[in-house]
Amino acid sequence: MALQLGDKIPNFSAKDSSGNDFESSSVIGIKPVVFYFYPKDNTPGCTAQACSFRDQYEDFKDLGAEVIGISSDSVQSHEKFAKRYKLPFLLLSDNDKKLRNLFGVKANLFGLLPGRVTYVADQNGIIQLIFDSLMATNHIPKALKIIKKMASEKTQ
């Protein structure tokens, strides 16, 4: 069953690009989070998407949000990818596809490509946006817009 708008992101754990254990409870319920699933490290679209998140990372941080990328690449692949493009946010390895299944991320292009889906959760872990698009760089403005909206509602 795929996660839907209004659902709470369940607890999960994964290895990050440094080989450390990541627990979703370290961010869920604490701050808004952008989880973006992407097909593969070092491919043109995924690199453009990661670099766009990198270039706007301070905007997300200034609004109190965290950005976390997830693909089925290995910890080693993520480590090289993050270093090469100076990515300031975590990349999680989902090589067993448990996280894709947990979130319900479907494959695209007749099942050939892992899906590209962004989830934005508020500080309580409730999903406020699910954006599913192969257009890699469209994810960043969509995610930032909802984070800005949540931040402005919080200050009212």
List the catalytic residues.
Answer: 46
How many helices and strands (H and E) does the chain possess?
Answer: 5, 7
Look up residue 129 and give its amino acid.
L
Which helix (DSSP H) or strand (DSSP E) does residue 100 occupy? helix 98-103
**Rounded-to-integer distance, Cα 18 and Cα 92, Å:** 9
3-state helix, strand, coil in the chain (%, to 5): 35, 25, 40
